Amino acid sequence: MTDPTPHLIRTSRDGDVLILTIDNPPVNAFSPGVPEGLKAGLDAAATDDTVRAVVIIGGGRTFIAGADIRTFNLPREQAPDLRGTIAKLDAFPKPTVAALHGTALGGGFELALGCTYRVATPDAKVGLPEVKLGLLPGAGGTQRLPRVVGVKKALDLILSGTPVGAAPARDLGLIDEIVEGDLLTGAVAFAWRVADVRPLPRISERPAQPDPEAIEAARQSIRKTHRGQLSPQFIVDLVDLATRTPFNEGHAEEGVKFVQAKDSPQSRGMRHMFFAEREAAKIPGLDKTTPTTDIRRVGVIGAGTMGGGIAMNFLNAGIPVTIVETAQENLDRGLNTIRKTYEASAAKGRLKPEDVQKRLDLLTPTLSMNDLGDADLIIEAVFEDMAVKKDIFTRLDAVAKPGAILATNTSTLDVGEIAAVTSRPEQVIGLHFFSPANIMKLLEIVRADRTSDSVLATSLKLSRTIGKVGVVVGVCNGFVGNRMLYAYREQASKAVLEGATPQAVDAAMNALGLPMGPYAMSDMAGLDIGYMARRAAAERAGQPMPDDWVDRVVQLGRKGQKTGAGVYDYPDGSRTPVPSPAVDDLIQAYRAEKGVQPREATQDDLIARLTATLANEGARILEEGIALRASDIDTIYTYGYGFPAYRGGPMHYASEQGLTTVVQTLERHGLEVAPLLRRLAQEGKTFAQYDAERAKSQT
For the annotated catalytic residues, the residue numbers are: 110, 130
Between 82 and 362, CB nearer to ligand 3HC: 82
SS3 535: helix
Give me the sheet containing 377-380, strands edge to edge: 363-366, 321-324, 298-301, 377-380, 405-408, 428-433, 442-446, 469-473
Out of 66, 186, 302, 474, point to the residue binding ligand 3HC (CB under 6 A). 66
Out of 1, 2, 26, 595, point to the residue binding ligand 3HC (CB under 6 A). 26
CB of 438 to ligand 3HC, least distance (A): 22
User: Cα(657)–Cα(650) distance, rounded to whole angstroms?
Assistant: 10
Give me the sheet containing 103-105, strands edge to edge: 103-105, 125-127, 164-165
CB of 135 to ligand 3HC, least distance (A): 6
Report residue 581 CA to chain centroid gap: 39
- Residue 138 lies near ligand 3HC (rule: CB under 6 A): yes
Between 169 and 673, CB nearer to ligand 3HC: 169
Q: Looking at beta carbons, which pairs linking 506-510 to residues 24 or more positions away fall under 8 Å? A: 506/577, 507/603, 508/603, 508/606, 508/607, 508/610, 509/606, 509/607, 509/610
Segment contacting ligand 3HC by CB under 6 A, of 7-15, 137-145, 181-189, 624-632: 137-145
Query: At CA 435, angle to CA 528 and CA 397, rounded to 5?
Result: 95
> In terms of C-beta density within 10 A (0-12 exposed, 13-18 middle, 19 or more buried), how is residue 572 classed?
exposed
The contact pattern for ligand 3HC, residues 271-300, with x = CB under 6 A and - = no contact, is ----x--x----------------------
The contact pattern for ligand 3HC, residues 96-125, with x = CB under 6 A and - = no contact, is -------x-xxx--x---------------
User: Cα(87)–Cα(258) distance, rounded to whole angstroms?
Assistant: 16
Kind of pairing between the strands at 164-165 and 125-127: antiparallel
Q: What is the DSSP letter of 175?
A: -
SS3 339: helix
Out of 137, 474, 481, 640, point to the residue binding ligand 3HC (CB under 6 A). 137
- Residue 261 lies near ligand 3HC (rule: CB under 6 A): no
CB of 111 to ligand 3HC, least distance (A): 9
- Residue 69 lies near ligand 3HC (rule: CB under 6 A): yes
C-alpha torsion sign, points 629, 411, 314, 524: negative
CB of 35 to ligand 3HC, least distance (A): 12
CB of 141 to ligand 3HC, least distance (A): 6
- Residue 27 lies near ligand 3HC (rule: CB under 6 A): yes
- Residue 139 lies near ligand 3HC (rule: CB under 6 A): yes
Out of 18, 133, 375, 512, point to the residue binding ligand 3HC (CB under 6 A). 133
Q: Which of 98, 110, 182 is nearest to 140 (CA)?
A: 110
- Residue 254 lies near ligand 3HC (rule: CB under 6 A): no
- Residue 377 lies near ligand 3HC (rule: CB under 6 A): no
**Residue 531, phi then psi, degrees to nearest 5:** -60, -50
Between 68 and 240, CB nearer to ligand 3HC: 68
CB atoms within 10 A of CB 293: 18
- Residue 86 lies near ligand 3HC (rule: CB under 6 A): no
CB of 469 to ligand 3HC, least distance (A): 12
User: Cα(539)–Cα(231) distance, rounded to whole angstroms?
Assistant: 49
Between 448 and 688, CB nearer to ligand 3HC: 688
- Residue 89 lies near ligand 3HC (rule: CB under 6 A): no
**Residue 560, phi then psi, degrees to nearest 5:** 115, -165
User: Cα(463)–Cα(470) distance, rounded to whole angstroms?
Assistant: 5
User: Cα(564)–Cα(577) distance, rounded to whole angstroms?
Assistant: 10
CB of 129 to ligand 3HC, least distance (A): 4
Between 27 and 674, CB nearer to ligand 3HC: 27
- Residue 253 lies near ligand 3HC (rule: CB under 6 A): no
Burial annotation 495-506 (CB, 10 A radius, 16+ → b, else e): bbbbebbbbbbb
Kind of pairing between the strands at 9-14 and 17-22: antiparallel
Question: Which residues, numbered 475-494, are part of the site for ligand 3HC (CB under 6 A)?
Answer: none
CB of 279 to ligand 3HC, least distance (A): 7
- Angle of helix 687-698 versus helix 675-682 axis, rounded to 10: 100
Between 69 and 645, CB nearer to ligand 3HC: 69
Q: Which residue(s) pair with 430 in the sheet? A: 408, 446
CB of 34 to ligand 3HC, least distance (A): 11
**Number of helical H runs and strand E runs in the chain:** 29, 19
Between 677 and 688, CB nearer to ligand 3HC: 688
Out of 37, 114, 129, 566, point to the residue binding ligand 3HC (CB under 6 A). 129
Between 129 and 640, CB nearer to ligand 3HC: 129
- Residue 457 lies near ligand 3HC (rule: CB under 6 A): no
Segment contacting ligand 3HC by CB under 6 A, of 129-137, 477-485, 626-634, 666-674: 129-137
User: Cα(17)–Cα(379) distance, rounded to whole angstroms?
Assistant: 58
Between 163 and 308, CB nearer to ligand 3HC: 163
Binding site for ligand 3HC (CB under 6 A): 26-27, 29, 65-70, 82, 103, 105-107, 110, 129-130, 133, 135, 137-139, 141, 275, 278
